[in-house]
Structure formats: structure tokens, C-alpha cells
Amino acid sequence: MFNAFLKVAAVGLACAPVAASAWTADNRLDVNPLPNGDFEVIGDPGSGGSDYWCAAGDYAMVVLGAQGTDRVYITRGRGTPETSNRKSGVQFSLTAPATAPQGLQLFMDMRRVGDNLGVTFARNYCLDRKVHEF
């Protein structure tokens, strides 16, 4: 009887759609890949700009293999996520968007497409968080 249950369960799992699982950044925010190679950081309640940058830099370096000097760009500002039913997400890319503004201007509200940081600089926001935890 138990073996029959296991077989039915295995068949059910094999037929179930497999969703792309989120990767968890150093600061515990989920990061979801997007079909075009970009990625989306899903915010928690109270997440600020430094939290999004930390997760973006961590994902870019650890998962995508980006170098510390590569840049990570906001491609869609803070808003309703495409990959989650949470309230807030920001989309990033290692490629500059066509509409990127000229000159360096960084706003921590995470709404301006084209804002960018070096991967190592973005990931350093993870260290800031760790210092405040202790």
C-alpha cells in the first residue's frame, strides 16, 4: 500500500510544472532570473536601496560570475515584481539599458532606469548590513 502511494506521489511530482527557484542573496532577499538574462530582486517590507544593491551585486558575482569591476544596472525601477506576488521588486542587468542617462547619478529610491554601480561596490552594501547586525 505504501509503495503504491510513493509511486503515485512520484508520478504527480514528475508531472508538476517546475518553477524557477529563487536564489537567496547574502542579505536574505530573493533574486529571480528573468528570461532575457536579467534578474529581479524581490524586496521585503522595509527594504531600502542598499538592500537591493547588495542582493544585485551578490547575485551578479556569485551566480552570473561577474567581475568586481563589471557594472550592474537598474533596468526597471522599484515596482510590482514580475516574478513574485510580493509588493516590491527591482530589475537589474549587467548590460546598460538603451535609455540609460548620461553621467553618474545614483538615487537610492531605486526608481531610475540606468542607475548603476560596480559589482563589488554594490556587494559592499552587504557588509554594511553585517556590521549593523553586531
d(CA 122, CA 29): 14
What is the rounded average pLDDT of the residues 9-26? 59
Contact 67, 120 (CB under 8 A): no
Decide which of 86 and 99 is more confident: 86
d(CA 46, CA 98): 30
Residue 11 scores a pLDDT above 50: no
**What pLDDT was estimated at residue 107?**
72
Look up the pTM and report it. 0.79
Residue 55 scores a pLDDT above 50: yes
**What pLDDT was estimated at residue 103?**
63
What is the rounded average pLDDT of the residues 69-97? 95
Residue 51 scores a pLDDT above 80: yes
Q: Minimal CA–CA distance to 53: which of 63, 45, 64, 43?
A: 43
Q: Minimal CA–CA distance to 108: which of 54, 49, 62, 23?
A: 49
d(CA 25, CA 44): 12
**What pLDDT was estimated at residue 44?**
95
Lowest mean pLDDT among 91-95, 106-110, 122-126: 106-110
Residue 43 scores a pLDDT above 80: yes
Full DSSP string of 48-97:
-HHHHHHHHHHHHHHTS---TTSEEEEEEEEES-SS-SSS-EEEEESS--
